[in-house]
Amino acid sequence: MDVAVILLGVGGVGRAVLARLGRAAPAVTGVTFRLVALVDSAVILTAAAPPGGAPAPAAVAYLDAPTLDAAAAAKAGGRPLAGLAAAHPVTATARGGGGDHDQGVLLALAASAAAAGATPLLIDASASAATTALLVAAAAAGVRVVSANKVPFSSAFSAFAALLPAPGAADDGGARASRSRRLVRAESAVAAGTPAIAALTRLVASGDAVTHIVGCFSGTLGVLTTAVAGGTRLSVAVAAARAAGITEPDPRADLSGVDVARKALILGRLAGCTTAGLADVRLEPFVPAAHLDAGGGGVDAWLAALPAADAGAAAAVAAAAAAGVVRRYVGAVDVAAGTVTVGWVELAPDSALAGLAGSTNAVVVTSGSYPRGEELVIRGSGAGVDVTAVGVVADAVELAHTAAVG
């Protein structure tokens, strides 16, 4: 079968997805993936002019391999997709100011591909906060959606429940659950391709009562935790990680804990929490708030002020060592209480999370069938564009074999 892919985002993750889709062997997957559109922040790049009118005509035109290679090279070099139109057989449609224009173009592309016998698939490899409405509209139209972007699932609960199985949502007889299970996957939104969401979704589907989830969901903060536990000063560790490209350009985006909060919120909602939004997560930042806000705004001034946090971080490590415990920065879900919490905890040295080092992620699930002491543990790399693409392509293969939603 042919899957017609619309790829949102041609950054590091998007390019890794492109490369991996090209390598996925039809003999193993039962699927042939082909690209119908690449979308960056400026244009929608297609092999032919996008279809207009309704009903959508039966038509699908795929971007050829030289175009895909050139697109990846352009984006890797910081150049826009729009520039490809000069040398390749493509149409670059400028994205509109509002979401509706783009959504209309992309859903018409999907409908035309479906009418031509292909299975349309929208992949969100962006980190944009603006794709949620498109993803919801696509799923509502029966278009399959894979997202590595965590924002659509960690904002309003209504958007989550429109996309992924939400056991806490009102009982609608299973129509929404059926749609979600057939049309939407988001493994790489949490812990990259490490199958935390797949494992949790399976437990919930089986009727197992998930009670608690706790995990280390940030490779970046894991690297910093390991460095500081090993005696490196926090400010030095942050500067080194930033220089190595491990943190965001502004490390406060990592140290705020918001990324961890988004991931914990997603897992909590999958387990039955109905947490209204990100603001409802109880969030203790990785560094005390006073240090997160120090320096007066700019990243350089903030970095210059960060050494003031070093003594506190070192003292916390020393106190934990003296107490025979291990400190970990975790996201935690208490399903019965309906709470999602992010912050520092102290763990026994033989616990699953205490054994982590560096960027490795782990998720620990407690349930009726996996009680305390016998929890389900999923551990593996939680960062990097390649392992993120692993999750995206595995999701895409699953959706290629699901039933359509009428």
CB 14 to a copy of itself: min, Å = 15
CB 39 to a copy of itself: min, Å = 22
Cα–Cα distance measured from residue 394 to residue 397, given in angstroms and rounded to the nearest whole number: 5
- Regarding 92 and contact with a copy of itself (CB under 8 A), the answer is no
HSE of 249 in the Cβ direction (CA atoms, 13 Å)? 1
CB 278 to a copy of itself: min, Å = 24
Cα–Cα distance measured from residue 406 to residue 402, given in angstroms and rounded to the nearest whole number: 12
Q: Work out which of 178, 226, 232, 339 binds a copy of itself, going by CB under 8 A.
A: 178
- 26 Cα distance to chain centroid: 26
Q: Work out which of 99, 155, 250, 370 binds a copy of itself, going by CB under 8 A.
A: 370
Q: Work out which of 6, 177, 273, 306 binds a copy of itself, going by CB under 8 A.
A: 177
* Closest C-alpha among 329, 387, 390 to residue 354: 329
The residue count of the chain comes to: 406
Tokens of residue 90, six digits: 């493509």
Cβ atoms < 10 Å from Cβ of 370:
17
Q: Work out which of 78, 86, 171, 231 binds a copy of itself, going by CB under 8 A.
A: 171
- Regarding 406 and contact with a copy of itself (CB under 8 A), the answer is no
- Regarding 194 and contact with a copy of itself (CB under 8 A), the answer is yes
One-letter-per-residue 3-state SS of 321-384 = HHHCCEEEEEEEEECCCCEEEEEEEEECCCCCCCCCCCCEEEEEEEECCCCCCCCEEEEEECCC
* Closest C-alpha among 120, 131, 108, 113 to residue 50: 108
Residue among 263, 291, 327, 379 flagged as catalytic: 263
CB 271 to a copy of itself: min, Å = 11
Which residues, 129 to 168, sit near a copy of itself by CB under 8 A?
165, 167
- Regarding 398 and contact with a copy of itself (CB under 8 A), the answer is yes
Cα–Cα distance measured from residue 193 to residue 16, given in angstroms and rounded to the nearest whole number: 12
Q: Which residue has the tokens 């080194």?
A: 240
Q: Which is nearer to a copy of itself, 106 or 376 (CB)?
A: 376
Interacting span for a copy of itself (CB under 8 A) from 2-10, 38-46, 108-116, 353-361: 353-361
Q: Residue 150 catalytic?
A: no
Query: Which residues are within 8 A (CB) of 96 and not within 5 positions of it... i.e. 6 or more apart?
Result: 102
Q: At what angle do helices 175-183 and 132-140 cross, to 10 degrees?
A: 110
* Closest C-alpha among 245, 327, 255, 343 to residue 291: 255
Query: Which residues are within 8 A (CB) of 158 and not within 5 positions of it... i.e. 6 or more apart?
Result: none
CB 180 to a copy of itself: min, Å = 8
Which residues, 208 to 267, sit near a copy of itself by CB under 8 A?
208
- Regarding 24 and contact with a copy of itself (CB under 8 A), the answer is yes
- Regarding 276 and contact with a copy of itself (CB under 8 A), the answer is no
Q: Work out which of 49, 54, 175, 322 binds a copy of itself, going by CB under 8 A.
A: 175
CB 369 to a copy of itself: min, Å = 5
Interacting span for a copy of itself (CB under 8 A) from 47-55, 74-82, 328-336, 392-400: 392-400
Q: Work out which of 31, 36, 109, 151 binds a copy of itself, going by CB under 8 A.
A: 31
- Regarding 207 and contact with a copy of itself (CB under 8 A), the answer is yes
Interacting span for a copy of itself (CB under 8 A) from 79-87, 315-323, 340-348, 383-391: 383-391
Cα–Cα distance measured from residue 343 to residue 267, given in angstroms and rounded to the nearest whole number: 16
Which residues here bind a copy of itself, judged by CB under 8 A?
A: 1, 20, 23-32, 165, 167, 171-182, 187, 193-195, 198-199, 202-208, 350, 352, 355, 359-360, 368-370, 374-381, 386-387, 389-394, 397-398, 401-404
Enumerate the active-site residues. Answer: 263
